[in-house]
Amino acid sequence: MSTKQFDVVVIGGGPGGYIAAIRAAQLGFATACIDEWKNDKGGPAPGGTCTNVGCIPSKALLQSSEHFDHANHHFAEHGISVGKVEIDVAKMVGRKDTVVKQNNDGILYLFKKNKVAFFHGRGSFVAAKDGGYEIKVAGAAEEVIAAKHVILATGSSARALPGTPFDEERVLSNDGALRIGAVPKKLGVIGSGVIGLEMGSVWRRLGAEVTILEAMPAFLGAADEAVAKEAAKVFAKQGLKIELGVKVGAIKTSKSGVKIDWTNAKGEAQVLDCDRLIVSIGRVPNTTGLNPEAVGLKLDERGAIVVDGDCRTNLPNVWAVGDVVRGPMLAHKAEEEGVAVAERIAGQHGHVNFDTIPWVIYTSPEIAWVGQTEQALKASGRAYKAGQFPFLANGRARALGDTTGFVKFLADAKTDEILGVHIIGPMASELISEAVVAMEFKASAEDIARICHAHPSLSEATKEAALAVDKRTLNF
Ligand SMILES: Cc1cc2nc3c(=O)[nH]c(=O)nc-3n(C[C@H](O)[C@H](O)[C@H](O)COP(=O)(O)OP(=O)(O)OC[C@H]3O[C@@H](n4cnc5c(N)ncnc54)[C@H](O)[C@@H]3O)c2cc1C
C-alpha cells in the first residue's frame, strides 16, 4: 500500500492545531490533522485541552454555578422567590459534557467541510525523507503518512507536585476538577492562577469551603496591581480563603481525604484537611509522544519546542504553535499562531501581535486586560497617564445589580497612545475586545473617549475611563 502523501500534516487537534489545519486546507493544501484525544467511548474528541478539559467545560461549570449563586443570593432583590435552591451535580456535569461533545462534533464537521483528513491516534516522527517527513499514526490501526510541511500543536498537560501524582480521585488536575461528582465539603487548591481561581470559584459557589494555597507572596502577580488588590478583596468576601507566600510540605491521601502540611508566610506550620485537592501549579508541554529524536527536533530545558518569532522550529518546513512553544498558554494565542503558520506556508505574511493578546479570568467579577500593567510601566520608566472609572457609577451595572470593580486606562503621557487597559467587573471578557481593537489600531485614549458608546451599556465605563485619562468625565 502506498504512503498517503499530504502537503501539510498537523499533529494535535486543539485550538492551535485544528485551526491551522482548517486554514491550510482553505489555502488549497492537501491537509491532515492527527489527534489522539478519546471520548468516554474511545471515539475521537478533537479540540484538545481547550474543548475537553479546559476553556469550554470550565466556562460551562462557571455558568451553572453562577446561576446557582444568583438564585441563592440575588433573585430575592429582584422580588423573585424560589424557595430552597438545590444543585444536582450529576446533571450539571452532564450538561457540561454535552457542551463539550457539541464542540467535538463541530470540529469534526469543520474538518469534513474544509476537506481536512482526520486521523485518530498518536502522531510521531519516523524520519525525514525526500525533502519531507514520514509520520506514524498509532490509532486503532497503525499507518505511516508523509508530509512536506508539519505543524506541531501537541499542547500541554497539568504539572503534578513532585511526589504527589494525580489520582483524579483525591488529588485532581484540571481534568478531575471538572468531573467532581458531589460538592466537596472542604476543597483545597494549590496555585492561585487562572485555573485555580476559576475551579475554586465553581465549587465555592456550590457550597464548598475552599482554601487556596499560593507560593508567590503577591496575589495575581501578572495583573495590574489595582485589579489584583480589588480581586483579593472581592474573593475574600465571597469566602475564598487565599493564603499567599506558603510552602507546601508533605501531602498524604487516604480514602476519606487529603492532608496537606504547609507553612504560612510567617513560617508557622499549618495543616489543611480537605476532601479533595486541586493542583494547578502550571502546565508542561507535550513532546514525549512525538519521537523528536528521530528527526533531531530541538526542545528547550522545559521540553517545549524551540521556535523563532514566526513559529519555525530548527527543522526545515516543521513549525510549532500553541502551548507546546514559548508564550502565554492561551487558546486564542494558539489559534492566532495556527492561522499565521498556515498563511506563512502559503507564502503569505501571517502575523501575530503578542502585545495585544487579551488575558481573561472568568471569575465573578471577571478580570480582563490587554497591554502593560501600571507596575510594568513604572519599572520601564515610561511616562504615562492613568484614568479609572468604577462600575458603581455606571447605569447598566446598577440595573444588572453588579457594580463591583472598574475600568482602568493607561496611556502614553505625551502621545496619549493606549498602553494598557485593565478591567475587573461584569462582562470584562467581552468589554476587553474594544481595548484590543483600539490597541491594534494604535488608538489614543481620546479616540475611545470620542467614540459613541450605546447607552445604557457597561462599555460606557470604558469610555469614561478613557476620558478620565485626561481628568475629564461626563457622568460622575
Ligand atoms: C481548566 C483550564 C481552563 C482554561 N481556560 C482557558 C480560557 O478560558 N481561555 C484560554 O484562552 N485558555 C484557557 N486555557 C488554556 C487553553 O486550554 C490552552 O492554552 C489551549 O488548549 C492550547 O491549545 P493547543 O492547541 O496548543 O493545545 P491543546 O489544546 O492541549 O491540544 C493539543 C492536542 O494534541 C493532542 N496530542 C498531543 N500529543 C499528540 C500526539 N503525539 N499525537 C496526536 N495528538 C497529540 C492532545 O491530545 C490534544 O488533543 C485553559 C486551560 C485549562 C486547563
Quote the pLDDT of residue 471.
86
Question: Above 60 in pLDDT, residue 1?
Answer: no
Share of the chain above pLDDT 90, in %: 97
Fill in the amino acid letter for 408: K
| Across 146-160, average pLDDT | 98
In short, whether 280's Cβ falls inside 6 Å of ligand 1 is no
The pLDDT value recorded for residue 55 is 98
Residue type, 104: N
In the block, which residue shows the cell 506550620?
269
Kindly report, residue by residue over 98-146, the tens digit of the pLDDT.
999 999 999 999 999 999 999 999 999 999 999 999 999 999 999 999 9
- 328 CA from centroid of ligand 1 (Å): 12
pLDDT: is 476 or 341 the higher one?
341
Ligand 1 nearest atom to the CA of residue 290, by list position: 41
Residue nearest to atom 45 of ligand 1 (CA): 12
The CB of 155 under 6 Å from ligand 1? The reply is yes
Looking at residue 3, what is its pLDDT?
85
At 349-396, the pLDDT tens digits run 999 999 999 999 999 999 999 999 999 999 999 999 999 999 999 999
Which residue's CA lies nearest to atom 17 of ligand 1? 50
Binding site membership of 120 for ligand 1 (Cβ less than 6 Å): no
Count how many Cα atoms sit within 13 Å of the Cα of residue 344 in the half-sphere of its side chain.
Answer: 22
Rounded alpha-carbon distances, angstroms, from residue 358 to 355, 376, 385, 435, 457: 9, 16, 21, 9, 21
Give me the mean pLDDT over the 404-420 stretch: 98
- Note the helical H segments in 371-474: 374-380, 395-400, 428-440, 445-449, 459-468
Question: Is the predicted pLDDT of residue 465 greater than 80, yes or no?
Answer: yes
Per-residue pLDDT at 468 exceeds 90: yes
In the chain, the N- to C-terminal Cα span, in Å, equals 74
| Average pLDDT, integer, range 50-66 | 98
Closest-CA residue to 315 (of 323, 307, 304): 307
Q: Is 338 in the pocket of ligand 1 (CB under 6 A)?
A: no
Query: Does ligand 1 lie within 6 Å of residue 191's CB atom?
Result: no
Q: What is the pLDDT of residues 64-96, one digit of tens each?
A: 999 999 999 999 999 999 999 999 999 999 999
| Contact 31 CB / ligand 1 (< 6 Å) | no
DSSP characters over 200-248: HHHHHHTT-EEEEE-SSSSTTTTS-HHHHHHHHHHHHHTT-EEE-S-EE
Task: Count the residues in the chain.
Answer: 476
Ligand 1 centroid distance, CA of 377 (Å):
31
Q: Which of 19, 38, 50 to mutate to test the pocket of ligand 1 (most atoms within 8 A of CB)?
A: 50
Atom number of ligand 1 nearest to Cα 338:
25
Side-chain half-sphere of 464: how many Cα atoms within 13 Å? 23
Q: Which atom of ligand 1 is nearest to the CA of 12?
A: 34
Residue 133's H or E segment, with its range, is strand 132-139
> pLDDT confidence of 475, banded at 50, 70, 90?
confident
Average pLDDT over residues 3-23: 97
- The band of 474, judged by pLDDT with boundaries at 50, 70 and 90, is confident
Q: What is the mean pLDDT of the chain?
A: 97
DSSP state of 301: T
CA of 323 to the centre of ligand 1 (A): 7
Residue 226 clears pLDDT 80, i.e. is over it: yes
Residue among 177, 203, 231 nearest 68 (CA): 203
195 close to ligand 1 (CB < 6 Angstrom): yes
Q: Which of 73, 74, 351, 455 is catalytic?
A: 455
CA of 48 to the centre of ligand 1 (A): 5
Spacing, Cα 318 to ligand 1 middle (Å): 20
Residue 149 annotated in active site:
no
> Does 52 have pLDDT greater than 80?
yes
Rounded Cα distance between 55 and 370, Å, is: 19
CA of 287 to the centre of ligand 1 (A): 13
The alpha helices in 37-193, defined as continuous H runs, are 48-53, 55-73, 89-113, 174-177
Average pLDDT over residues 49-53: 98
Q: What is the pLDDT of residues 158-210, one digit of tens each?
A: 999 999 999 999 999 999 999 999 999 999 999 999 999 999 999 999 999 99
Q: Is the pLDDT of residue 476 over 70?
A: no
